[in-house]
Chain A
Amino acid sequence: MAGETGPAIDPIGQFSITPLIPIRIAGHDFSLTNSSLYMLIAVGLACLLMTAGARGGPGIPGRLQSLAELAYEFIAGMLRSATGEKGMRFFPMVFCLFMFILICNLVGLLPYSFTVTSHIIVTATMALAVFLTVIVVGIYEHGFGFFKLFVPSGVPIYILPLVVAIEVISFFTRPLSHSVRLFANMLAGHITLNVFGGFVVMLLGAGAAVKALAVLPFAMTIGLYALELLVAFLQAYVFAMLTCMYLNDAIHPGGH
């Protein structure tokens, strides 16, 4: 495979998980991998930002405190507008998900680092946590009334079976689209950056006549990097926003 595309481009290699400290307990692999290391870094950075931002102090709020307050207000406003005051008890969950994904995405954009969110197992775990929370909270709060979610009001009786079937299918494919959206965006973005970076190397390695052309993919790489910064924030935002919308279904079923 490497012989066909040239030695300069190996876009998949950056996603490989390697154990740093091998740990085996009862025949199971609990090794500290580069993936778990970057997860710990992301959690540590999030804790550091929020504790340092919440420490306060005399006088004018500093930059760190403004950043922490901005993140808090952003998620609180989003959750309040999507679910109302009743949904605010889910704020810690939504905020943790948002900060974790955002910091993982941003740390992953540093050269030579590892992107935790480019693995579907990580995003699927978070999406399934949201999915199960919605089901458990919905049934706990409303009992059988939760299933009103699948029966929209104001639909004529003769097309109701079809609508219910579509609603059920769309409900159960939610964790799939929720996780694949984040994972695919991160994966495709990093592969694209790597491919264009590989073009620069390949053009520099070619003859002197085409060496100057390496500027073109290099400029493209810079542009793509800026886009990836936007995507890193946007996907964290979209993940948190969809979480809010799904939680709204659990709190107010049949409200749409």
Chain B
Amino acid sequence: MEPHELAIAAKYIGAGLAAIGTGAAGIGVGTLFGQFLNGALRNPSAVDGQFGRLIFGFAVTEALGIFALLISFLLLFAV
């Protein structure tokens, strides 16, 4: 294998490894909405007041997955 081909292979492997992080963010978002639903079914009157916090937590959690996706994209297209 040429060193150049090896570098390309390593680039694609790295992009694939970075994409694992999006799955981890998926766990986080699932936990978030699951716990919210869990609490919401116990006390439905509190749902409207906490919706903003839910969306805020979703955006902050999802951003971490996006960071991993960004690394993956940078490896694929920009390096």
Contacts and interface: CB of A to CB of B under 8 A. Distances in A.
Interface of A: 1, 4-5, 11-12, 78, 180-181, 184-185, 187-189, 191-192, 234-235, 237-238, 241
Contacts of B55: 234, 237
Given A237-B55, A238-B56, A241-B56, A184 B63 contact: yes
A188 B70 contact: yes
B73 A11 contact: yes
B73 A191 contact: yes
20 contacts: A5-B76, A12-B77, A78-B52, A181-B59, A181-B60, A181-B63, A184-B67, A185-B66, A187-B70, A188-B66, A188-B70, A188-B73, A191-B73, A191-B77, A234-B55, A235-B59, A237-B55, A237-B59, A238-B59, A241-B56
Most central of B59, B69, B78 by chain A CB within 10 Å: B59
At the interface, is chain B mostly helix, strand, loop or mixed?
Answer: helix
A12 B78 contact: yes
Interface in B30-78: 52, 55-56, 58-60, 62-63, 66-67, 69-70, 73, 76-78
At the interface, is chain A mostly helix, strand, loop or mixed?
Answer: helix
A157 to B, nearest CB: 32
Most central of B55, B70, B77 by chain A CB within 10 Å: B77
A2 to B, nearest CB: 10
A238 B66 contact: no
Contacts of A188: 66, 69-70, 73
Interface string B7-25: 0100000000000000000
A80 B70 CA distance: 34
A193 to B, nearest CB: 12
Contacts of B63: 181, 184-185, 238
B2 to A, nearest CB: 15
A238 B73 contact: no
Contacts of B58: 234
Nearest to A185: B66
A185 B64 CA distance: 9
Nearest to B70: A184
Nearest to A192: B69
A189 B58 CA distance: 16
| Top 5 A-B residue pairs of the complex, sorted by shortest distance between their CB atoms | A238-B59, A181-B63, A184-B70, A188-B69, A188-B66
Given A181-B63, A237-B59, 6 more contacts: A184-B66, A187-B70, A188-B70, A191-B73, A192-B69, A238-B56
A4 B75 CA distance: 14
A191 B71 CA distance: 12
A38 to B, nearest CB: 21
A39 B59 CA distance: 24
A50 B62 CA distance: 31
Nearest to A11: B77
B70 A238 contact: no
